[in-house]
Structure 1
Amino acid sequence: MDLLDIPIATLARELPGATALFNRHNLSSCCGGNKTLRGIFAGDTPGLDRDQLLGELHTLIAQPVAERDEKNWHEADDHELIEHLLQRYHEVHRRQLRDLVHLAQKVEHTHFEHPACPIGLADHLRNMAVELEQHMQKEELILFPMLSRGQGAMAGGPIRVMLGEHDDHTAAIERIDALTDTITTPDGVCNSWRGLYTGLQAFKRDLQKHIQLENDILFARHLAA
C-alpha cells in the first residue's frame, strides 16, 4: 500500500516516532486518525509542508533497516565513532525527550483516572531530559574534544564520571519500566498513549545502545590504554 493511503492512526500505532512527528505538524492521530495523508494533503491544512512531513516519515521507516545494517564500530577510529554518537544519539535524544514529555503530559492529563495511567512519567522524563542534557554537554564540551585531540591518556577521570552517570541513566530507564509496566500498552487506549509507549520503546532502545557504544568501545579502549 502507498504510504499516502495508510491512515495516520495506523502509522502512529505501528511506526515508532510517528505520533510525535504528527504532533509537531499539528496533525491528530486520535481525532480524525482514520484520515490518510493523501486526504490531508488534498485538504486545506495551513502551514503543513508536504515534502518535509513525507521526508521525516521516510526517515523513520528507514531507521530500523539502518540499525540492522549498522557497521562494526569496534573498527572505527575515535573521530568517526564520536561523530556517530553525536548525530545518531545526542541530537536524537534531545528530540525524543521533548516529544515524549509532551505526550506523557497529554496522556496523564486525559487518562488520569485509568488504572494503568503512568502518573509521574512526564515529571520523570523531564528530569531525565535535564540530567541527560548535562551529561551530553560534558561529553560534547570536555571529554569528546580531549579524545579527538589524542589526549585519551588524560581522560581517565572524566571517563569514570561518565560511566557513573551511565549507571544513573540505566536506573532511570528502570524507573520508566516501573511506571509503564515495562512499557506495555494497555488494551483499548488512544493513539496518543500508544504513540507514547512506542516512542518510549525507541528511546529506551536508543539510550541502551548509546551507553553500550560508549562504555564498551570508546571509553573501554582509552581505559585499557
Structure 2
Amino acid sequence: MSTTSQPVKDISQQRVGQLVADDFRAAHIFSQFGIDFCCGGGRSLASACEKADAKLSEVEAALLASAVSGQKEDSLNQLPVDQLIDYIEDTHHTYVREKAPLLIEYSQKMVRAHGEHYEEIKPLAGWIQALIEDLVPHLMKEERILFPSIRAMAAGEQVNGCFGHIGNPINAMEHDHNDASLVLEKIRELTNNYQPPQHACTTWRVCYASLAEFEADLMQHIHIENNILFTKALSLAE
C-alpha cells in the first residue's frame, strides 16, 4: 500500500501483517473493519476480510484512498512554504467557510423539528455552534497574522509582529486545534459516531453525513498545519 507497492487491485493475497509493516495507515483501516492484523497477520487480505465478515472491495478501496492520501501528503511536504499556505487556504479554509453555515442550518432545523423529543439534539446543535464560532476567528488569525509572518520568513523578509518568536503564535494555533478536536469528540459521542437512528429524517441524516465529512477534512487540515507547515516554519526560525 506504500507508494512503491503493487496496485491495490493485486493485494488480495498479500498478508495483512505485511501490509501494515509496509504502511502503518493500513492498521487504522483494518481496525475499522474489525480485521485482526496482529495474531491474524499471516492471513491473506482476502481471507482476513472473509473471517471479519468485511467486504474485500470496500477494504481495498479504503487502502487505495489511504495510499493516494499518502502520496498527496508526500507532495505537500515538497511544496515551498508559500505554496503550502496557498493550498491550506484555498482547500481547507475555503471548505470550512462553505460548510459551516450548512452545519448550523441543519442542526437548527433538527432542533425545531425534534429538539423536544430527542435529548441529544439541542446539545448537538450547541456543540456545532461552538465549533464554528471557534473555527472562524481561528482562520482569520492564521490568515492575518501567522501565515503572513511565515511567508515573510520564507522570503527572508522582516517579520512584522508583536508576538516575539514565531513559536508563540504557532503554539496558540495548536491550542485551538486541540480545542477543536475535543469538541469533535463531544459531537462524535452525541451522534453515535455519525450513525443516525432508524427514525431519523432526511435533514438528520444529511447533518450527520456532513459532520462526518467535516471532521475528516478538519483532521486533515489540522494535520497539514501541525505536522508540515508549522514544522517548516519553526525550521526557518532556527
Q: TM-score, normalised by structure 2?
A: 0.62
Percentage of identical aligned residues? 30
Does structure 1 retain, via aligned residues, the 8 Å contact 2:77–2:228?
Answer: yes
Give, in angstroms, the shift of residue 130 of structure 1. Answer: 1.6
Correspondence for 1:194 among 205, 212, 216: 205
1:218 and 1:85 map into 2 onto residues whose CA distance is: 9
Task: Report the equivalent of 1:126.
Answer: 129
Give the Cα–Cα distance (whole angstroms) in 1 for the partners of residues 200 and 103 of structure 2: 17
What CA distance in whole angstroms lies between the structure 2 residues aligned with 1:188 and 1:80? 46
Of 151, 173, 176 in structure 2, the residue corresponding to residue 165 of structure 1 is 176
The number of residue pairs the alignment matches comes to: 161
Give the conservation status (yes or no) of the 8 Å contact 1:107–1:117: no
Looking at structure 2, the residues matched to 164 and 223 of structure 1 have their Cα atoms a distance apart, in angstroms, of 16
1:85 paired residue number: 88
Q: 2:185 pairs with 135, 156, 174, which one?
A: 174
Q: Measure how far apart 1:178 and its partner are.
A: 1.9
Whether the 8 Å contact between 2:106 and 2:204 is mirrored in structure 1 is yes
1:216 to 218, 223, 227: 227
Residue among 188, 195, 203 paired with 1:184: 195
Provide the aligned C-alpha RMSD in A.
2.3
Helix, strand or coil at the partner of 1:207: helix
Structure possessing the higher relative contact order (Cα contacts under 8 Å, 6 or more residues apart) = 1
Secondary structure (helix, strand or coil) at the match of 1:149 reads helix
Runs of 4+ in 1 over 6 A off after TM superposition: none
Q: Are 1:138 and 2:149 matched, yes or no?
A: no
Question: Is 1:102 matched with 2:113?
Answer: no
8 Å CA contact 2:81–2:232 kept in 1: the answer is no
Deviation of 1:70 (Å) = 3.3
- Gaps of at least 5 residues in structure 1 are 1-63
Paired with 1:145 and 1:111, the residues of 2 have a C-alpha distance of 45
**Is this contact kept in 1: 2:124–2:190, CA < 8 A?**
yes
Unmatched 5+ residue regions in structure 2?
A: 1-64
The separation in 2 between residues aligned to 1:158 and 1:117, in whole angstroms, is 36
Contact 1:183–1:197 (Cα < 8 Å) also in 2: yes
Read off the aligned partner of 2:224 and give its amino acid letter: L
- Structure label with greater radius of gyration: 2
Task: Pick the aligned partner of 2:79 from 73, 76, 100.
Answer: 76
Q: Distance in 1 between matches of 2:167 and 2:186?
A: 29
Deviation at 1:146, TM superposition (A): 0.7
CA distance in 2, matches of 1:127, 1:116: 18
Question: Aligned AA for 1:76?
Answer: L
Query: Is the contact between residue 103 and residue 211 of structure 2 (CA under 8 Å) also seen in structure 1?
Result: yes
